[in-house]
Structure 1
């Protein structure tokens, strides 16, 4: 069944629901979302997932149709539960998309988030039909459900489509604002009403930012661009009234919001937006991972496992055989090159600094890391010597070697070093075995003045990044790391290793390295 036929059937279903509707007229604003806007938008996302549509969507949409055209009855809870199950499956699919990719391609994550938010809309709708006491009036419960169908499902999906066409730093800021706003709305509803005002202010910033981004984006046709501008532009008007309502302005009441805000969002934002994006839905730029992954996964004790299994194996002198595969050796100080090619000739001293905001998490993590003997960093910032061996290991990659680092007798790191090439660029490919999984650090090496920079920051669709491999899935983590190495004098190096999560620095390790 193709897109046009499915869309036509949903429109027919909604028209019949309108003709035989037994509820208040404004209920149709949620019904049209459930019977037309949600299924049509999902068709734009899930073009190849036909089984999903038949198994879960058809029963859900028929249930909504029955609820709209029949008087209130005891079976209504069952029909609402069927629709709730459908939104749960949509959320699972969005979560699955996210887990296969991780924190990369923000525009795709916006679509994933919209699908997951739809389940919250399903819960509020179920609470309304089942007459569950949410602490609010039935009408406010219903309005919260409609909010999560429009502002929290359709809007993130539309933003995702825009990001496929036009993705800048401004887009990342605007997209993030829109995605966190529904959470703040929920907190405002349940905890502090003043947060509702904050959430509306965030929506205003995000929506006006969307209009600017859309005006700068290049669309396949001027007609489509105009339609998208009308869609986002309608929100720029209605959001002002949302702010007035959240600020408790007397003239902007529920009746006004239903008539003006609801209808404008329904017709101009949702309908115009869906038609515009359906004209030509931008394809995803997402690509599968192209780099080799270590086939070694950890068990309960990582350090002990590696040392025992590979005891007596060939040892390497360095982490790299020839640094020329990464950078031109003549352009860097000789000690930096020699350290990587003859690592065992050097003594390594470290000072670990957990940043203040992260110390409570580090203290808890330390109890786990000490047992599994991996990423087992000390809590103290006292300078300590790290010792260890570089052991040959086979894990399905090229010339892999395990660098096992210890402080006294405690294993601190077990890192499996290899390399790979993508589009004629070489990357350092480092695997850290974890229980039944593996953390992968793909680092790009570049000269930084007289220093060497190793970074996981991804630029221009490179492989660089930090990933978690479990089973056949590879998940991009919201972590970034950077090593900056400089020669102090011949035979002596300083290195600074910084780790960030969501761009917030949480760990810095300072290394002093001497030739033995």
Structure 2
């Protein structure tokens, strides 16, 4: 477990430097994308179940474990190129971003193998769909690095779309799938998975073409997370799980509810303290990325490790 977490720890140190060093001149979108590449993705890889008897899946899994850190370094080099090495030029940064794009394609192919190999297991389909969404995030990242104008949209929107797919679209289906692995299946669970798969597409389409569609997608997605966190907290109360897993999963749920409370309180806080939405974006982003997503992933990794160890000892 410690050896498996080493790349994540190294990635975490790099991410802290990226957030703190003004020399790099990364904007908030780029900082969160590097956080996803160096910290979130290696944690997701630890959650994957691969079939040793399935040769193709076994090879894919080994390739993913071997290549994700070099791919993340290429993503970092891509952003550094556009910011500090060759500012104003997109050729080098765009080419370097292809390393991350190809790696997310590997994740996508692996996700498709999970879906195909577990047709009857809806929870594994959710996890597979999350892996597929990483590839869409990789596409948006490359478009952002090339500063490609698509649908007459500012390229910064491509960066936002990439963040959306690296965090919400990919991670939430994986969380729902991990919950499905431990829970007694309910009649509503397939609907949650279906909304989880459709919701990110609605949000992405809405971000480009239509605000009402985006609002519908965000509402459905937020309701899904609310159901997930509520059920998970109830499950943790009734079932004795690994202490570290419990701690991080509870923190993850609390972070989401904190975001909801702040969102509902925004009109009042705005008037009391003369704040704008730009003042709240770093708060929302930090609570979501470091609270809900990171703590949730760490909790599920601890739980999966504990279950595996119990099985080995048993």
With normalisation by structure 1, the TM-score equals 0.49
Match of 1:193 in 2: 211
For residues 80 and 186 of structure 1, the distance between their equivalents in structure 2, rounded to whole angstroms, comes to: 21
Match of 1:67 in 2: 78
For residues 184 and 16 of structure 1, the distance between their equivalents in structure 2, rounded to whole angstroms, comes to: 35
Query: After the TM superposition, which residues 303-318 of structure 1 pair with which residues of structure 2 at under 5 Å, given as runs?
Result: none
User: Alpha-carbon deviation of 1:17?
Assistant: 3.8
User: Alpha-carbon deviation of 1:50?
Assistant: 2.5
- The answer to whether the 8 A contact 1:165-1:219 is kept is no
| Match status 1:231 vs 2:252 | yes
User: Alpha-carbon deviation of 1:23?
Assistant: 1.8
Q: 1:53-90: CA deviations, max 9, x gaps?
A: 22x32331111222344423431011111111111111
- The answer to whether the 8 A contact 1:17-1:69 is kept is no
Match of 1:39 in 2: 42
| Larger Rg over CA atoms | 1
Aligned residues: 279
SS of alignment partner, residue 188 of structure 2:
helix
Equivalent residue for 1:259, pick from 265, 271, 282: 282
Match of 1:288 in 2: none
Which structure has more relative contact order (CA 8 Å, sep 6+)? It is 2
- The answer to whether the 8 A contact 1:91-1:119 is kept is yes
For residues 213 and 126 of structure 2, the distance between their equivalents in structure 1, rounded to whole angstroms, comes to: 22
Equivalent residue for 1:211, pick from 210, 223, 229: 229
Equivalent residue for 2:295, pick from 272, 285, 289: 272
Match of 2:167 in 1: 150
- The answer to whether the 8 A contact 1:94-1:115 is kept is yes
Match of 1:114 in 2: 130
Q: CA RMSD in A?
A: 3.0
Q: 1:9-54: CA deviations, max 9, x gaps?
A: 3223334444452322552122111111112211321676223322
User: Alpha-carbon deviation of 1:8?
Assistant: 2.5
Return structure 1 stretches of 4+ with deviation > 4 angstroms. 239-245, 249-254
Match of 1:281 in 2: 304
Query: After the TM superposition, which residues 26-425 of structure 1 pair with which residues of structure 2 at under 5 Å, given as runs?
Result: 26-45=29-48, 49-54=61-66, 56-70=67-81, 71=84, 72=87, 73=89, 74-102=91-119, 104-134=120-150, 135-166=152-183, 167-217=185-235, 218=239, 220-238=241-259, 255-256=278-279, 258-281=281-304
With normalisation by structure 2, the TM-score equals 0.78
Q: 1:146-181: CA deviations, max 9, x gaps?
A: 010110111111111111111322333323222221
Structure with a larger share of its residues in helix:
2
For residues 139 and 201 of structure 1, the distance between their equivalents in structure 2, rounded to whole angstroms, comes to: 23
Match of 1:8 in 2: 9
SS of alignment partner, residue 75 of structure 1:
helix
For residues 10 and 219 of structure 1, the distance between their equivalents in structure 2, rounded to whole angstroms, comes to: 31
